[in-house]
Every structure is written in C-alpha cells, then in structure tokens.
Amino acid sequence: MAKTWGQLEEMQPTVLKMMKNSIVKNRVAHAYILEGMRGTGKREISLLLARSLFCESPVEGYKPCENCNNCKRIQSGNHPDIHLLEPDGLSIKKQQIKELQEEFSKKAVESSRKIYMIIDADKMSAGAANSLLKFLEEPNSQTTALLVTEQVQQILPTIISRCQILSFKPLPTSAMVKQLTENGIDLQNAPLLAHITNNLDEAIALNVDDWFAQAQKIVVKLYEVLKKNPLEAMVTLQGDWFPHFKDKEQVNRGLDLLLLIFKDLLYIQLDKQDQIVFKKESERLRQFALHTSGKSITGQMTAILDAKRKLQANMNPQLMMEQLVLKLQEGSILV
C-alpha cells in the first residue's frame, strides 16, 4: 500500500511543502531532480507527485485522494501516461532515452499530461545523458520529468541547470531506531543499522544477514590490526577483507562500517556514550579511545571519506584499500 501525503510529509516536510506550493500555485516545473541517500522516500514521493497531478478528486486541491481510478492505476504501476525508466544492466542506455522520446512525441493516451521517471539517473551513459539534455531543452508544458538519484554530482551540470532540485534529508537516526525497535530489532543492533541505511526493509533484512554480521567482525578486526604493524594489516586485507567485500557496493558498506568505528571513538572521547553504535564492542573501543588522539581520529575519518569518493570514481577497490590502510596507520592524510 502506497504511503499517504501525511505519512511522507513526516519523512520529508521541506520537499512536500515545495511540492504543495507548486501544485497549488500551478507552477509545477517541467523537470525535477529528487536527490538524497537511499531510503529517504525519493521514489515514493515521485509517485505521490504523479498521483497528485493525475488525481480526479484531489483533497484540498493538492493531495491525491488515493481512491480514484488514476490514483489506483499509478499505485499499481499501469497508468499509460506515466513512464518509468530504470538502468538496463549497469547503466541507462542511449536507446532507452530515444525510445522514451519517441513515446513522448505521441499524444498522451488519456489526458494532455505525461510524466516520465528516471530511476538512478546518475547511471545514464554519456550518450543517454546527451539525448536527455536535448529532450529537456525543448520542454512540453504538459510533460514532467522526475530524475531520481543518490549521486547528483554524477549528473551532467547542464542537465542539473534545467531541473528544479528537491533535496531529501536523511531520516533522523532516533526516528529510525524507534521504527526498528518497534519491528522487533534488539536495541543493541538498532543504532548501527539506523546509521547504515534509511530504508526500514533493508535494515530488517541486514539484521538477520550472515554476510553483514561477518562484515562487522572483519571491520573491527581490521581496526585492531591497524594499531599493530603494517604487515599484519595487509595480511588481514588479503585474508579477510578482499574475500568478503567483493563488489563495489560491499566495499562501500565496509567503509561505512569502518567510518562508524572511528565516529564511536570520537563519541567516547567527547563523553557521548549514548551515541555509540558498535554497542557490543563498546568496552574494547573505550580502551582504544584512551590511546588515540582526537586529531588523529578526525584525520583518519577524512581518509575513509576520501576512499569512498575514490571508490565512486571507479578506482580499483584493492588498490584503494591498500592505500587507505597505509594512511590510517600513519594517522594522517597524504596529499
């Protein structure tokens, strides 16, 4: 069942206020970029906007009634004037955009309005992005484009300049922890899961995922050996890290976990014990925090964030991790 306007407004009040104003004042843009981390409601709010624009009996002039024929068909994904485009394999191809353009050169089937949604818009190939740019340069007043992305910086600046950006904020971790505990997740695990994902279903799945449980152990082990000699850290990379964190997404998740360990060390030093997320490791982390300077921790956190950027820029994950381990052991960042 689709979430209502009120439910989504609790998640993203600023975005929903902007949408309401656009609809009420009849100033709906011809193209929007909905950007933000995973699990913040981008896709659901895209469909909410579609229902609002197509609804036969909008409540208060802007909220979809959720009961009319159009609302129900959009919820079930079979409205003929709403087109959804997703990556074909690893990317969105030029041919997919061309087919979309051909579809939009025809008249709308049931109304004068058409909407197209591009999911993971940052994954457009260069050809696809250039084709879309031409499409955006000649907007039809009754056509609305919704580009959904977690990586807005990967989209062509010329495309961004032709769109209105709706930025989705991460859900407060306290709200996420509350949702998780209400769904039966132990309070020892909930804070870590809430920091890893904003997506409730994903968090619940991770809670019982053997891969994720093992990932946490490997990350803690890597941190421990970082404090020893460089050789042992490299051995841990070869023997534990590389066999477990195989693809780009898994490596990124491992870096997120590693970053949370350093955050915990900082929280311990700042006497913010309630904000620790590796609760099961809190005693060991307290011992580590006693022998580490705050300046060193912040430098190491910066190195991890830099490694995440390199990963997104398609640097070889193995080389990236080897460089990161050396930087973390130095306790400072090499320019």
Residues 46-61 have pLDDT tens digits of: 999 999 999 999 999 9
What's the mean pLDDT in 204-227? 94
| Cβ-contact 160, 147 below 8 angstroms | no
Predicted model pTM: 0.67
Q: What are phi and psi of 243, to 5 degrees?
A: -65, -25
pLDDT value at residue 40: 87
Domain 209-330 belongs in CATH node 2.30.30.30: no
Instruction: Band the pLDDT of 1: cuts 50, 70, 90.
Output: low
Supply the mean pLDDT for the chain.
91
Q: Which of 312, 314, 310, 264 is nearest to 324 (CA)?
A: 310
Task: Decide which of 217 and 10 is more confident.
Answer: 217
Q: What are phi and psi of 168, to 5 degrees?
A: -95, 125
Alpha carbon dihedral 134, 120, 253, 268, in 10-degree steps, equals 80
What is residue 85's DSSP assignment?
A: E
What's the mean pLDDT in 164-178? 89
pLDDT exceeds 60 at position 334: no
Q: Where are the beta strands (DSSP E) in 120-209?
A: 143-149, 164-167
pLDDT exceeds 80 at position 14: yes
pLDDT exceeds 90 at position 293: no
Q: List the chain domain ranges.
A: 5-167, 209-330
CATH code: domain 5-167 is 3.40.50.300
Q: Positive or negative CA dihedral for 182, 183, 187, 191?
A: negative
pLDDT exceeds 50 at position 244: yes
What is the rounded end-to-end Cα distance, in angstroms, of the chain? 50
pLDDT exceeds 90 at position 10: no
pLDDT value at residue 4: 87
Task: Decide which of 208 and 101 is more confident.
Answer: 208
pLDDT value at residue 172: 81
CA distance 300 to 252: 16
What's the mean pLDDT in 155-182? 91
Task: Decide which of 211 and 284 is more confident.
Answer: 211
What's the mean pLDDT in 2-14? 87
Task: Decide which of 333 and 194 is more confident.
Answer: 194
What's the mean pLDDT in 171-188? 88
Instruction: Band the pLDDT of 108: cuts 50, 70, 90.
Output: low
CA distance 276 to 278: 6
Residue range 298-333, pLDDT digits in tens = 999 999 999 999 998 999 999 999 999 999 988 633
CA distance 262 to 255: 11
pLDDT value at residue 32: 97
Instruction: Band the pLDDT of 106: cuts 50, 70, 90.
Output: confident
Share of the chain above pLDDT 70, in %: 97
Question: Measured in whole angstroms, how far is the alpha carbon of residue 1 from the centre of its chain?
Answer: 22
User: Listing from the earlier edge strand, what are the strands of the sheet with 82-85?
Assistant: 82-85, 114-119, 143-149, 31-35, 164-167
Give the total residue count for the chain.
335
Share of the chain above pLDDT 90, in %: 72
What's the mean pLDDT in 222-251? 92
